[in-house]
Structure 1
Amino acid sequence: MDLPTVAIVGRPNVGKSTLFNRLIGRKLALVDDRPGVTRDRREGDVQFGGLAFRIIDTAGLEEADEDSLTGRMRMQTEAAILAADVVLFVIDARAGVLPADQPFAELVRRSGVQVILIANKAEGGGGLAGAYDAFRLGLGDPIPFSAEHGEGLGELHEALRDALPKPDPDMEDDDADAPGGRPLRVAIVGRPNAGKSTLINRMLGEDRLLVGPEAGITRDSISLDWEWRGRRIKLHDTAGMRRRARIDDKLEKLAVSDGLRAVRFAEVVVVLLDATIPFEKQDLTIVDLVESEGRALVIGLNKWDLVADQPGLLKTLREDCTRLLPQVRGVSVVPLSGLAGNGIDKLMEAVVQASEVWDRRVSTSRINDWLSEATSRNPPPAVSGRRIKIRYATQVKSRPPHFALFGNQLNALPKSYTRYLVNGLREAFDLPGTPIRLSLRTSENPFDKR
């Protein structure tokens, strides 16, 4: 079967080769680099979270005479664009949109090829500002990304999944038109011996995964197809996550890395706790990782049959969750027993609901009605005698919900006030448990001239 082609293009030094290496090197199936096409153009076959495609790393786009070396490299890049099914147009978020980006954005637009705009080097506040600047290229929503650190891989996977040509249904069992629709990707993570594999075996109704009392039996991420109430689910069982200082074995380090990758490619992550010793420090660290990756979250209290006779325990643990994990306030906490098979339906109901909240969009008019009321009730503080003014807000993306505020002196907003705003958004628009992103932009309303 011929693979679809993805071309990486952009100005020199925006991180195209780093992105190429990230997509090639982080996958379990190594690809076949084919040297010799040109010095600055490399190709390879990629397996990326269930997606298969050929990727082309191109020379940097520069204006130059056609007969020069730079000009010939540009012609090679233009040929790669025309031959591609999808173009990854990369800018440097730290530099923002430069005049040199505009003609190449127009070239890509005219080609008629599907375009995914990547704002690379977006780690940190300065990078995020440059990422939003990329809206004016007219290539759609930019994906804030860090090829160096692997941030944004989940968002890129989703964009590629939607943009790549759909494979022949006879050749691909994950086709979106199959009965039950596109599978919901669910990763089961937690400390070693929390009962992840036992739970998945009970879900599947068979001893599909090796289990036992020894911690660390699962070494790599196992992907399994399942159906729950007519909905297709792709389950990922992962190796137990230990504190880094306690990982000495090289194989186990690789297993933990594989679990992190499963989190990044999941839509919903179930963090499985041992109900007999819940909310250990490592549990909190894992939840923090899931939140920082922006995944939908559900907490499962496994082995509940061992503590179910303790009255009031569930209420106490839910209160502990609110106190210890304020960044995911309202997250579902579900008691269950993987061994006995109790609570699985409740767990999956919470998973589906978390996915819907994670994907929720709120209209700009509703957000600004809320903002007016929230700032009237509790105005932003003054800085050097001048009150901070929040003029406008909008939701820039979902999965997870991401809101941008526009106004003056927003970089001086104290963390306590941004927490007030995030909690207000969560309550006003029914966003329990999901990560919420808030970007602060000191600028004019970007929609005034549209």
Structure 2
Amino acid sequence: MDDFEDIDEAVEDFDTPETRPARLAIIGRPNVGKSTIFNRLAGKKLAIVNDQPGVTRDVREARSRFRGHDLTLMDTAGFENARGQKLEARMRAQTEAAVMDADLCLFVYDAREGVTPLDRIFADFVRKSGKPTVLVANKCESRAGDHGVNEGYSLGMGDPVEVAAEHNIGFGELDDEIEMALRDVVLTVPDEVIDTTEAPVRIAIVGRPNAGKSTLINTLIGKDRLLTGPEAGVTRDSITIDYVWQGRRVQFHDTAGMRKKSKVNETLEVLSVQDTLRAIKFAQVVVLLMDAESPFDKQDLQIADLCEREGRALVLGITKWDLVKNKSEMSKALREKAANSLQQLKGVPVVMFSGLTGKSVDRLLPAIERVQIDWSAKLKTSELNDWLIEKVQRHPPPAVQGRRIKPKYISQTKTRPPTFVLKCSRADKLPESYKRYLINGIREDFDLWAVPIRMYVKADENPYDNIKRIKGMEPLKENKRRNR
């Protein structure tokens, strides 16, 4: 496998209606190189990799095609010997659930450190689960790992496969071992066959740290798929969750909280924010989640402005609504605040709910569906030009330096977001205020609220320009003949 590239797109979905993809979990204690192996097998740099232990916290999934097999790769949190309500204990529970859900496990340990007591505790759990397992001795790029490789036999998982994930060494042998193990995996037929030819609606859930993004997604899908807790900054990677809503495929992207840029100093947080920005870039609809106790913070408005600049449809979600006492008065104030603070996204829907209790969460997906339809809207050129004539007659553009500006033709050139080209005379003189007048008119008259609208003004071509140019060149050609 060649060195992977830093590619932002999700791994292509290769589901087939006959069987589900085999699920391969990459497991081990913290900082043994699981995420690096995950990226190598996926063929793309998806998971955040850092020397700091415990970077991965949630189970991150990616679809891949492996020697004719459909695979769902699962990158898991490092196994910690912790119990109770600590963050490490909740991470351990997620990893154990991933093992039980997997068809095949890659048990990774650090050959340079050798087999540790924590490796033995986790290996005992994996053996009792009965899951087929391939033992991987990572960091074998030098002789320093030879002793650790030999210790791997004591785990009772067969011969360790020697790799150096950071340097892309040993993956040919590892691929062979995975292929051999997959031959014995029996895949079940899915309970419900979903049409995979239709692309899913990609929804990014963004906001400040500890706004309740992971809790909201868990409530929407009806299970504790994502790690949650009172600690700020629990989520680090952007985690993609597949879901089916009313027969339609949906992908939720849980993201790390975004703080003010001046406060983001640590390398790990910088990588997390970059992952969030990529999720926004490739989403169709962004849900900006705000705490009902402190909504419309300056950072919230900056995130909303970023979504508008990226051309994403936006929905404002106000969570922790169960803590609000005077709900009617607060609801009215929030809608007025949205209208005044986000004039570039007039009519943006504001949905109030409690992500923890699930109260009114069912209002969110219909609101997302409406703005996604508007975001993909295509208007007829004839209707647009009839509308333009009416708008110009009602409010003509101001004359500049005593000369009129004449808008002549408008057409929609693309969707997602709706983008228009306006042809007019003296295009460079058309005031921005008049352009905003036309954009707001499109919103109101064609009911395109809450989505960014792009409008480009171009000069109307004069059909006589070419004739004048040709006529102006003729005397020059005659003069050249005379000079000869």
TM-score calculated relative to the size of structure 2 = 0.57
State the partner residue of 2:230: 213
2 CA distance for matches of 1:229 and 1:28? 26
Partner of 2:346: 329
**Residue of structure 2 aligned with 1:408, choices 425, 445, 448:** 425
Shift in Å, 1:51: 9.0
Question: 1:305 and 2:322 equivalent?
Answer: yes
Q: Secondary structure at the match of 2:5?
A: helix
Query: What is aligned with 1:25?
Result: 6
Residue aligning to 2:52:
none
Tell me, yes or no, if the aligned pair for 1:186 and 1:268 is still in contact at 8 Å: yes
Is the 8 Å Cα contact of residues 27 and 46 (structure 1) preserved in structure 2?
no
In structure 2, the residue matched to 1:275 is 292
After superposition, residues 48-447 of structure 1 pair within 5 angstroms as 178=195, 181-444=198-461
Name the SS of the counterpart of 2:437 in structure 1: helix
Cα pair 2:6 2:44 within 8 Å, conserved? no
Report how far residue 24 of structure 1 moved: 3.3
Deviation for aligned residue 1:48: 9.2
Task: Kindly name which structure, 1 or 2, has the bigger radius of gyration based on alpha carbons.
Answer: 2
User: What amino acid maps onto 1:25 in structure 2?
Assistant: D
**Deviation of residue 203 (structure 1)?**
1.2
Deviation at 1:431, TM superposition (A): 0.1
C-alpha distance in structure 2 between counterparts of 1:414 and 1:48, whole Å: 45
Q: Deviation string for 1:384-426 (max 9, x for gaps)?
A: 1101111100000011100100011122222211111110011
Give the secondary structure class of the aligned counterpart of 1:24: coil
8 Å CA contact retained: 2:417, 2:451: yes
Structure 1 position 444, deviation (Å): 2.2
C-alpha distance in 1 between matches for 2:309 and 2:462:
28
Secondary structure of 1:386's match?
Answer: coil
* Conserved 8 A contact 2:237-2:256: yes
Q: CA deviation at 1:445?
A: 8.6
After superposition, the C-alpha distances for 1:100-137 in whole angstroms (9 at most, x for unaligned) are: xxxxxxxxxxxxxxxxxxxxxxxxxxxxxxxxxxxxxx
Is the CA contact 1:180–1:232 (under 8 Å) kept in the aligned structure 2?
Answer: no
**Residues 417, 200 of structure 1: CA spacing in aligned structure 2 closer, same or farther, 3 A cutoff?**
same
5+ residue gaps, structure 1: 3-20, 31-44, 54-169
Q: 2: CA distance between counterparts of 1:206 and 1:272?
A: 20
> What amino acid is aligned across from residue 435 of structure 1 in structure 2?
P
- Contact persistence 1:409–1:442 (CA under 8 A): yes
Deviations 1:3-53 (A, max 9, x none): xxxxxxxxxxxxxxxxxx9x93344999xxxxxxxxxxxxxx964997989
Distance 1:367 1:51, change over 3 A: farther
SS in 2 for 1:234: strand
Q: Percent identity?
A: 50
With structure 1 as the length reference, what TM-score do the two structures score? 0.61
Q: CA deviation at 1:361?
A: 0.5
SS of 1:352's equivalent in the other structure is helix
Per-residue CA distance 1:49-95 (angstroms, 9 max, x = gap) = 97989xxxxxxxxxxxxxxxxxxxxxxxxxxxxxxxxxxxxxxxxxx
CA contact (8 A) 1:300 1:334 kept: yes
Cα shift at 1:179? 6.3
Shift of 1:196: 0.2
Q: Look up the equivalent residue of 2:265 and give its one-letter code.
A: D
Determine if contact 1:180/1:231 at 8 Å carries over to the other structure: no
The verdict on how the C-alpha distance between 1:263 and 1:28 changes in structure 2, with shifts beyond 3 A counting, is: closer
Q: Distance in 2 between matches of 1:410 and 1:283?
A: 35
Q: 1:260 and 1:314 mapped to 2: Cα distance? A: 29
Q: In 1, are the aligned partners of 2:8 and 2:278 still within 8 Å (CA)?
A: no
Are residues 431 and 51 of structure 1, via their aligned partners in 2, closer, same or farther at CA, if it must alter by over 3 Å?
Answer: farther
Separation (CA, whole Å) in 1 of partners of 2:312 and 2:64:
23
Q: What one-letter code is carried by the residue in structure 2 that aligns with 1:299?
A: L
Corresponding position of 1:124? none
TM-superposed CA distance for 1:380, in Å, is 0.4
SS at match of 1:300: strand
Q: How many residues align?
A: 293
Distance 2:373 2:328 in 1: 32
The 8 Å contact of residues 194 and 247 in structure 2, kept in 1 or not, is answered as no
Q: Letter of the 2:453 partner, please give it.
A: I
Measured after TM superposition, the shift of residue 210 of structure 1 is: 1.1
- CA offset digits 1:293-344 (Å, max 9, x no partner): 1111111011111115343211111011010000100111000110011222
Q: CA deviation at 1:211?
A: 1.0
Letter in 1 for 2:423: F
**Is the contact made by 1:322 and 1:330 (CA closer than 8 Å) also made in structure 2?**
yes
User: C-alpha separation between the residues in 1 aligned to 2:416 and 2:437?
Assistant: 21
Q: CA deviation at 1:181?
A: 3.8
Aligned to 1:86: none
Structure 1 CA distance, aligned partners of 2:9 and 2:444?
41
Backbone CA RMSD of aligned residues: 2.9
Answer whether contact 2:7 2:44 (CA < 8 A) is retained.
Answer: no
CA pair 221-303 structure 1, distance change in 2 beyond 3 A: same
- What letter corresponds to residue 238 of structure 2 in structure 1? S
